[in-house]
Amino acid sequence: MNTYDSVRMAELLNGTGIYESVDDPAHADLIIFNTCHIREKAEDKLFSELGRMRKSLKGRDVRFAVGGCVAQAEGYQIFRRAPFVDLVFGPQNYHRLPRLLQRLEAGESRICDDAEHAESKFEALPDTRTGGPIASVAVQEGCDKFCAFCVVPFTRGREWSRPVDEILAEVTELARGGTREIHLLGQNVNAYKAMDGDGVDHDLALLIRQVALIDGIDRIRFVTSHPVDMNEDLVEVFGDVPELCAYLHLPIQSGSNRVLDGMERGHDVDAYRHWVKRLRETSPDIALASDFIVGFPGEDEAAFEETLAFVEEIGFDHAYSFKYSSRPGTPAAEMEHAVEESVKTERLARLQAVLNRHQEMKNKAQVGKIESVLVEGVSRRHSGEIMGRTSGMRTVNFAGSESLIGKIVSVQLTEGRANSLRGCLIDEECDRLDAE
Ligand code: 5AD
Ligand code: SF4
pLDDT, tens only, 204-233: 999 999 999 999 999 999 999 999 999 999
Is residue 306 scored above 70 in pLDDT? yes
Question: 23, exposed or middle or buried, with CB in 10 Å at 0-12, 13-18, 19+?
Answer: exposed
Q: Which ligand is nearest to the CA of 148?
A: 2
Quote the pLDDT of residue 382.
85
Q: Do the Cβ atoms of 246 and 286 come closer than 8 Å?
A: yes
Mean pLDDT of 116-123: 74
Q: What is the pLDDT of residue 42?
A: 80
| Domain 127-245 part of CATH 3.30.750.210 | yes
Q: Which atom of ligand 2 is nearest to the CA of 226?
A: 5
What's the average model confidence in pLDDT over 336-343?
98
Mean pLDDT value of segment 163-171: 96
User: Residue 433: is its pLDDT beyond 50?
Assistant: no
Q: Find the range with the poorest average confidence among 153-167, 268-282, 341-355, 362-376.
A: 153-167
The ligand 2 atom at the shortest distance from the C-alpha of residue 143 is 3
Task: Describe the chain by its helix, strand, coil percentages, rounded to 5.
Answer: 40, 20, 40
Query: What is the number of the ligand 2 atom nearest to the C-alpha of 188?
Result: 5
Locate CATH 3.30.750.210 in the chain.
127-245
Percent of the chain with pLDDT over 90: 88
Residue 231, amino acid: N
Handedness of CA 313, 346, 339, 295 (dihedral sign): negative
Residues of the chain with CATH 3.40.50: 2-113
- Strand ranges in 18-130 using DSSP code E only, listed in sequence order: 30-35, 63-68, 87-89, 111-113
| Mean pLDDT, residues 278-300 | 98
Q: What is the dihedral of CA 38, 226, 340, 328, to 10 degrees?
A: 40
Q: Is the confidence at residue 432, as pLDDT, over 70?
A: no
When pLDDT is averaged across residues 258-275 and rounded to a whole number, the result is 98
CA of 146 to the centre of ligand 2 (A): 6
CA distances from 109 to 28, 47, 65, 94 (A): 19, 20, 11, 18
- Residue 265 Cα, ligand 2 centroid: separation in angstroms? 8
Which pLDDT value is given to residue 119?
A: 66
Output phi, psi for 298, to 5 deg.
90, -5
H-type helices in 178-300, by residue range? 204-212, 232-240, 257-262, 269-282
Q: Among 383-392, 411-420, 423-432, where is mean pLDDT lowest? A: 423-432
Which of 128, 155, 133, 125 has its CA nearest to residue 143? 155
Q: How many helices (H) and strands (E) does the chain have?
A: 14, 19
For ligand 2, the distance from its centroid to the CA atom of residue 147, given in whole angstroms, is 5
pLDDT single digits (tens) 13-31: 998 988 999 999 999 999 9
Lowest mean per-residue pLDDT among 39-53, 134-148, 422-436:
422-436
- Could you read off the pLDDT of 396-426 as tens digits, one per residue? 999 999 999 999 999 999 999 999 999 999 9
- Ligand closest to Cα of 252 equals 1
* C-alpha dist (Å) from residue 7 to 152, 161, 221, 410: 20, 20, 18, 30
Compute, in angstroms, the gap from residue 274 CA to the centroid of ligand 1.
23
- CATH 2.40.50.140 for domain 370-435, yes or no, is yes
The mean of the pLDDT values for the chain is 94
Q: What is the pLDDT of residue 129?
A: 78
Share of the chain above pLDDT 70, in %: 97
* pLDDT at residue 436 greater than cutoff 90: no
Tell me how far apart the alpha carbons of residues 61 and 245 are, in angstroms, rounded to a whole number.
47
CATH 2.40.50.140 positions along the chain are 370-435
- pLDDT of the residue at 123: 82
CATH of 2-113, one of 3.30.450, 3.40.50, 1.10.3470, 3.60.70: 3.40.50
Contact 275, 312 (CB under 8 A): no
Instruction: Identify the H or E element spanning 138.
Output: strand 134-138
pLDDT surpasses 90 at 89: yes
| Between 116 and 133, residue with greater pLDDT | 133
- HSE of 15 in the Cβ direction (CA atoms, 13 Å)? 16
The structure's pTM equals 0.94
- Asked whether residue 172 carries a pLDDT value surpassing 90, the answer given is yes
Res 118 pLDDT > 70: no
Three-class SS state of 314: helix
User: Do residues 115 and 93 touch, judged by C-beta distance below 8 A?
Assistant: yes
On the question of pLDDT at 276 being above 90, the answer is yes
User: In the prediction, which pLDDT does 396 show?
Assistant: 98
Give the pLDDT score at 22.
95
Q: Mean pLDDT, to the nearest integer, of 248-274?
A: 98
pLDDT tens digit sequence for 52-88? 999 999 889 999 999 999 999 999 999 999 999 999 9
Q: For the CA atoms of the chain, what is the radius of gyration?
A: 22
Nearest CA to ligand 1 atom 14: 291
Query: DSSP per residue over 401-423, as a string?
Result: -GGGTT-EEEEEEEEE-SS-EEE
Residue 435 has a pLDDT of: 42
CA of 45 to the centre of ligand 2 (A): 22
Mean pLDDT value of segment 180-204? 96
Residue 424: its H or E element: strand 421-427
Ligand 2 atom closest to the CA of 187, numbered from 1: 6
Neighbours of 56 (CB within 10 A): 10
Let me know: does 366 contact 413? Beta carbons within 8 Å: yes
Which pLDDT value is given to residue 430?
Answer: 61
Residue 113 clears pLDDT 90, i.e. is over it? yes
User: In the structure, which protein residues have their CB atom closer than 6 angstroms to any atom of ligand 1?
Assistant: 38-39, 149-150, 251, 253, 291, 293, 322, 324-325, 327
